[in-house]
Structure 1
């Protein structure tokens, strides 16, 4: 498994650079997401949901820009509404991942493009290209290298049954929606009143992480923060001392292969899923400037991203803890 995941990641980055695409990390993140599922069948289902959500999110992003690009208050209310719906449906629908992906892509298309229709269209096209590339590379490698037996594959009927069993209660859906609303309000208030730099990057991270983290309890956030700082320290050292020495695409692909292999080989147990997921995504995202067609090595970029992530995750933890305590208090009073 470690070899297959590492080969998928390295192949995706190498091919993206060979095609002249400037954001290989989106394809690489697709590989990481597929690799952290339970089986190859789950991975294929997840990538189909990811692609479907990406297309819907691109349309939603253009709609937000067209309707509210010059009306910031209405844009913010639209983000709150869409995020709350996505958070609710992530608990209540068997296709909850589609809702989350649609919202995340809509935010990326609209905010990363600076609310500009022209650049946002270009981002949407690149996003779809990279997602497809990651899915194709993952499927190709897993089909050719030690393919799963028919007995190990999961049928669509079994996947549908498991998805229905995973649907949470209506209360959990409302709980997630409330958490998202408060996380977004607090994060955007920090962005406005603290004058956080780098344009829309902080509210973009807050919205995407907010909808992704609402399903986790506040207790898990402490472990996540510890893992983030651990991975960040290792990756930053490599970013400073190793990556600037790599000059060709195959050398960069080899770098990601070795790191991804180590992560999946050391943390292979089912209970290590979060460790693998965070390690893989941080490996890709904190070194994203090295994946540009013209690489940029500036330690300020990954440090700033680490700061933004820390602020957002601390906000998520505090809001989640507050909402959980209020809900627990309400349940006790009702009893």
Structure 2
């Protein structure tokens, strides 16, 4: 039995399904779990299905998240877009009768009973479309909005390396079948208030750039207040600096005063960076990774390591 049929079989058997994703969710994390909730309920309307996690106002157009219900009986957990245990938001696979992982990050650790990991996929949302195409599930227009948003953002509008012919084929078929308004989705994702444009200018104007091409900045709580933006904004803007000629690797360190942590986002246009973040209990993809730290001094260590690998990359 192939992985698609195994996942479908577990979904079909379960009376209750809980869907979870990673902390600090992006549209791929939110989109994959919210879309799968809609897809499961469309096929099995009598099941109880919950997509759980902490809400984020920036992507509220994708749908609302649920509170984790009291676990009764044989509840199935499906975790999307999350490679390791400590980054799962609001759910612990060990407390569920059965658990499934659907993820496109490089393998870090086994967290679920059944795991489908495809590092060649552009996104978890692409994997959900693939799952549907191989089973008796169907994508509704509501689910398609979530899935398209997840793929568009994780591929940076189909520009990143893992955008493949398979990506275009799956997306094209979904658009033909659901006829969703993609311009409306692009507006939800990319129309921004003027204050964010000014804040982006603040970031680009205040980057420190090393001789090897690593750009970095520490964003304080006072900076966020000055520009009237929230703590997620610097991380959401990280892809906007992808085409600066003098920069190969760029990173933001944002003070999250409420949670007493520092949010780190790193991107690369060449050097592989995920192993650097994994040393600090973070991770992600080869060219897009992040971590949450207890102090900003640890960010200095990360920058030093990023600069070293970028120097090595330039010399090769």
Is this a same-fold pair by TM over 0.5? no
The TM-score range, normalised by the shorter chain, is under 0.3
Q: What TM-score, normalized by structure 1, do the two folds share?
A: 0.25
The two structures have a TM-score, normalised by structure 2, of: 0.26
The structure, 1 or 2, with the larger RCO (C-alpha pairs under 8 Å, 6+ apart) is 1
